[in-house]
Amino acid sequence: MVKRVVDSYLESAEGPAAARLIFLQGLWAIQSDIEAIERDYDVPDAEAARDALVTGQPLFLVSTPIVPLAEYVDAATAIAAYVSEAAGLPEEQAEALRSADLAAAITDGRLECAVRAPDAFFAAVAAALGVDGSGPLTYVTVAFVLASALAPFLAGPSSRVRGALGESDLRTWTSGRCPVCGSAAALGRMGERTSTQGAERTLWCGLCHAEWGYERIRCVRCGTRDSNMLRYTYLEDDPAHRLHLCDECHGYARFVFEDELGKPVSMVVEDAVLTTLDAVARANGYTPEGEGDAQAS
């Protein structure tokens, strides 16, 4: 599915957009091999999972997946090597990434918090690698490698815990953060319209790949329902990819409109395609997080 969608974009993409898709296609292949390995996960009791959702607690707080240290270090090392070779980094940055001692920086103690607090984990590993803003190894690159290595360990457990619940259970979740791992939604989609109802709006998590329903007239970041503060915008030649802007918190979320796209949707691919709109949002004073709380109910 992912390859088919990428190939459809590459038919018309060129320059940096095409290069990014080709790079990510290689990364997704590495992640797919990691995700394909069967690992144990203790799916939480359905009643405990429902209670968590109702009280606004992500499901991974009920039962946290175990990420094996050796396997994770191998995954991060492989992805770091690929990024250093294929991401088009300046040579000094690529060499710094190749030389980074991830095996020493990623310890059991640090990895233990990766699922519940990924940003804290990324920061701790970056600090252990000596990333301080003055050298060639940047926090953005380290965080990208660590997150890319973590995602395939979480996608399987995420799918299993969601599969153990019904759609009605997941509808009790009203946050713009992921009901499974708690990460902020990476993007969303507006589904195809039908003759009997409007299009469904869903959000998607870039870390564990969960997808959940979300109100159509509501800010993903601060939760406001004030329609006067909310609007969509898009580039003139691409109405399928839009920014949902909030003038209350100055946050934004990226969306793909399936009716306008006219092709199969892969959210991992759309996450890459929609990066072109991030610069547009920031240039106009909007930020991915906004100034509000994405967990507002």
Same domain, 141 and 201: no
On whether both 70 and 112 belong to a single domain, the answer is yes
Decide if 288 is inside a domain. no
10 found inside a domain: yes
Residue 262 has what pLDDT? 85
7 part of a folded domain: yes
Residues 236 and 141 in one domain: no
Nearest by Cα to 188 from 262, 241, 141, 246? 241
* Residue that is last in its domain, among 151, 183, 211: 151
Last residue of a domain, one of 118, 151, 184: 151
What is the mean pLDDT of each successive set of 10 residues along the chain, which is 297 residues long? 89 92 96 96 93 95 97 98 97 98 98 96 98 95 98 97 87 94 96 63 97 95 97 96 98 96 93 95 95 54
Q: What does the pLDDT read at residue 196?
A: 47
Burial 225-245 (b: 16+ CB within 10 A, else e): eeeeebeeebeeeeebbbbbb
Residues 39 and 144 in one domain: yes
At 147 the pLDDT is 98
In a domain, 167, yes or no: no
What secondary structure does DSSP assign to the chain, as a single string? Answer: -HHHHHHHHHTT--HHHHHHHHHHHHHHHHHHHHHTS-----PPPHHHHHHHHHTT--GGGTSPPP--HHHHHHHHHHHHHHHHHHS---HHHHHHHHH--HHHHS-HHHHTTTTT-HHHHHHHHHHHTT--SSSSS-HHHHHHHHHHHHHHHHHHHHHHHHHTS-HHHHTT---SB-TTT-PBP-EEEE----SSS---EEEE-TTT--EEE--SSS-TTT----GGGEEEE--TT-TTEEEEEETTT-BEEEEEEHHHH-S---HHHHHHHTTHHHHHHHHTT-BSS-SS-TT--
30 plus 146 within the same structural domain: yes
**Same domain? 128 vs 75:** yes
Residue where a domain stops, chosen among 86, 118, 151: 151
One domain, residues 200 and 273: yes
| pLDDT for the residue numbered 236 | 93
Which residues constitute the domain of residue 204?
Answer: 173-283
Residues 271, 215, 213, 140, CA torsion sign: positive
pLDDT of residue 64: 97
Residues 142 and 180 in one domain: no
- Rounded Cα distance, 62 and 43, in Å: 9
Q: Other CB atoms closer than 10 Å to residue 72's CB: what's the count?
A: 20
CA 200 to chain centre: 20
- Kindly state whether residue 221 falls inside one of the protein's structural domains: yes
pLDDT at 139: 97
Residue type, 236: E
Residue type, 279: A
- Domain assignment present for 41: yes
Same domain? 128 vs 178: no
Shared domain for 11 and 132, answered yes or no, is: yes
**Residue 199: its pLDDT value, please?**
67
| 239 belongs to a structural domain | yes
Model pLDDT, residue 195: 46
Count the domains in the chain: 2
Q: Are 33 and 83 contained in the same domain? A: yes
For the domain that residue 216 is a member of, what is the CATH number? 3.90.1670.10
pLDDT of residue 197: 54
Give a yes or no: residue 165 inside a domain. no
Q: Are residues 122 and 22 in the same domain?
A: yes
